[in-house]
Structure 1
Amino acid sequence: MLRQIIFPVLLGIAGCGVLIWLGLWQIDRLAWKEDILANINARLAADPQPFADDVTEADDEYTRVTLSGAPTGQELQVLVSGTAAGTGYRVISRFETEDGSAILLDQGLLPLDGKAAEPLVAPMQVIGTVLWPDDQNSSTPDPDLSENIWFARNVVTMAEALDTRPFMVVATATTPADPRLTPLPITTADIKNDHFEYAVTWFLLAIVWAVMSLFLILRTLRPKDA
């Protein structure tokens, strides 16, 4: 009889062990992600610093900055939905700073029916956050260049298209404000952190596996009808 239950017992222990390990791994990932989010929140809560164009992704992403200059009127429009301002086009502009650098400026959301409106081309003060977004994945369509409709932000591609430095400042506010646009400031609410839900899922699966293994063991031990 003992020999008959060796396999289901080993199967139950192995399965539960793997699922519990996956749950614990997600708990570790949760702590790692929360540390990252705390660091980002600290940067977003800091006072904005004067912009310097020697920023690097490793040291300066999510740093708040102030800068002066003017958009040139050249812009890329990224179709987005689910933002705080609704569905529309993120406007990524070529922005020339007072010292002559050209950078990418995410000015905010343009309503779907606003594509024909003229951009504000005027000197402005900007408060924003330095970012290197790459929203593309393998299923992202190529941009429709004839209609100026993009489907993801990609710093490298957009910098080449607008002939700018390969990083972006996401505007929190501009003075004066472009009346077409609603700024979309960066918050950590936009950064996914599903590790707790994944951990709960793995632990629940471990419980289910244990119950199924126990059922299999009891069924194996049940005397067979003559």
Structure 2
Amino acid sequence: MTVGGGGSGAAATGRPWGLTLLLIIALAVFVVLGIWQVRRMYWKHDLIARVNVRVRAVPASLPTDARLVSARPGDLDYLRVKLSGVYVASQSARVRAATDLGTGYWAMTVMRLDDGRTIWVNRGFVPEGVTENQVWTGVPAGAVRVIGLLRSTEPGGSLLQSNRPQDDRWYSRDVAALTRAKQAGRTVPVFVDAQQEEGRSFRGSKPVPGLTVVRFADNHLSYALTWFAMAALSGAAIGLVWRQARPKSS
């Protein structure tokens, strides 16, 4: 009787409660991550649909400063707008770029708008070897009209390199830093990627506009399926552990 009682107690205490708890936690985490990715997928699809409508829409006026400041990040990205004003050629900069046309620079120039505001305009792509002086001399004089896409500032630099304002080396279109470096006064907190540019007089070679990449990574479904598969494996592992721990009948 004593031996039998000891065997029953060992079997009871041998249940893999700790491992089971870890697997249950893992299962729950994987399910939550899967659901989160599904929600992200719907959000991304909605974003793509909205952007596709924006980039093909009739150009609108630049939103008010209050709207630009209060907008959440990305809310106004790729809104198609129309600008009219004059460029300030001396307040130009080259920002490193890699495009379908090769590596080179975005030609960024400040525009003083007819409504009194000031905004940075990405006039387009210029190839490797174009100097900053050539960017300046290529800026049209007099009244200019631009149709383009509103973009959020890109602070700091690229993934691999930080902006170096002191050396006039730019790897991202950081509106605030460009404004300080070029002493442009007060500019709106966004910039515009030019699609079309019309002016009375162009000097030198004109940057190639309209190269904005409107593409979004959409891998959320595959990520969601991966997390749900991991959850299923965790559930299967729980069953396997408990089957192996079941006392064998003599």
- Give the TM-score taking structure 1 as reference length: 0.78
2:108 alignment counterpart: 92
Task: Summarize the alignment of residues 33-44 of structure 1 with structure 2, pairs less than 5 Å apart.
Answer: 33-44=44-55
Tell me the CA shift for residue 141 of structure 1. Answer: 1.6
Say whether the 8 Å CA contact 1:49–1:64 is kept in structure 2: yes
1:131 alignment counterpart: 151
1:106 alignment counterpart: 122
The gaps in structure 1 that reach 5 residues or longer are none
Q: Distance in 1 between matches of 2:81 and 2:118?
A: 15
Tell me the CA shift for residue 127 of structure 1. Answer: 0.7
2:175 paired with 1:155: yes
Q: Distance in 2 between matches of 1:60 and 1:14?
A: 40
2:39 alignment counterpart: 28
2:225 paired with 1:200: yes
1:80 alignment counterpart: 97
1:49 alignment counterpart: 60
Structure 2: which amino acid aligns with 1:16?
L
Tell me the CA shift for residue 47 of structure 1. Answer: 0.4
Q: Distance in 1 between matches of 2:244 and 2:92?
A: 68
2:202 paired with 1:179: no
Give CA-to-partner distance per residue, 1:103-158, whole Å, 9 cap, x none: 11011222122226342332432111222222537975232533x22122222222
Percent identity, aligned pairs only, is 25
Q: Distance in 2 between matches of 1:214 and 1:86?
A: 56
| SS at structure 2 position matched to 1:183 | coil
Structure 2: which amino acid aligns with 1:14?
I
2:139 alignment counterpart: 120
Q: Distance in 2 between matches of 1:185 and 1:56?
A: 26
> Which region of structure 1 is more displaced relative to structure 2, 202-211 or 119-128?
202-211
Tell me the CA shift for residue 90 of structure 1. Answer: 1.7
The gaps in structure 2 that reach 5 residues or longer are 1-10
RMSD: 3.2
Structure 2: which amino acid aligns with 1:200?
L
- From the superposition, tell whether residues 173 and 143 of structure 1 become closer, same or farther in structure 2 (CA, over 3 Å): same
Tell me the CA shift for residue 15 of structure 1. Answer: 1.3
Q: Distance in 2 between matches of 1:172 and 1:55?
A: 25
> Which region of structure 1 is more displaced relative to structure 2, 155-164 or 15-24?
155-164
Q: How many residue pairs were aligned?
A: 220
- From the superposition, tell whether residues 173 and 21 of structure 1 become closer, same or farther in structure 2 (CA, over 3 Å): same
> Computing the radius of gyration over CA atoms, which structure comes out larger, 1 or 2?
2
Out of 68, 82, 86, which is 1:70 matched to? 86
Q: Distance in 2 between matches of 1:46 and 1:62?
A: 10
- Give the TM-score taking structure 2 as reference length: 0.71
